[in-house]
Amino acid sequence: MTELIEEIEQDLDVKISLGAFINFLTHVERSSRCPICPHDGVWNFYIDKTISAGMESPMAITRMVSTYAAADDDNYPVFSMECPNCGYMIYTNAHAVAKKLKTLEAADE
Ligand SMILES: [Zn+2]
């Protein structure tokens, strides 16, 4: 079954720290293995280097650009991580991360 994403939210009003993003990866049971090379372990995470604060560093937002007929400047936010061995990049929808973390927070209360 295919689920169409009809409306992609462009604005991300929440800051997600490196620690929170790693918490998300753990909760959704993301593999630490690179899908295209033998690497299995630590990955490189793209953080906001202007505010370097260890695990509290905000994840850098990469804006992926989609091209539509009527709106050629549309974009959506993703978090980036890179395989330290082969440079393979993984992009994760920032909204999916924010949504999951909100659910986890609510379950905690
Ligand atoms: Zn790799």
Q: What's the gap in Å between 95 CA and the centre of ligand 1?
A: 25
Q: What's the gap in Å between 101 CA and the centre of ligand 1?
A: 27
Cα–Cα distance list, 12 to 2, 33, 89, 95 (Å): 25, 28, 21, 7
Cα–Cα distance list, 64 to 10, 21, 61 (Å): 10, 19, 9
Q: What's the gap in Å between 34 CA and the centre of ligand 1?
A: 5
- Name which of 7-11, 40-44, 45-49 the model is least confident about: 7-11
pLDDT attached to residue 13: 62
pLDDT surpasses 80 at 46: yes
Mean pLDDT of 58-78: 82
Q: Is the dihedral of CA 38, 96, 94, 52 positive or negative?
A: negative
pLDDT surpasses 60 at 47: yes
| CB under 5 Å of ion ligand 1: residues | 34, 37, 39, 83, 85-86, 88
Beta partners for residue 62, in sequence order: 78
Provide the mean pLDDT of the chain: 86
Delimit the domains of the chain by residue range. 18-101
What b/e string do you get for 16-31 counting C-beta neighbours within 10 Å, with b at 16 or more? bbbebbbbbbeeeeee
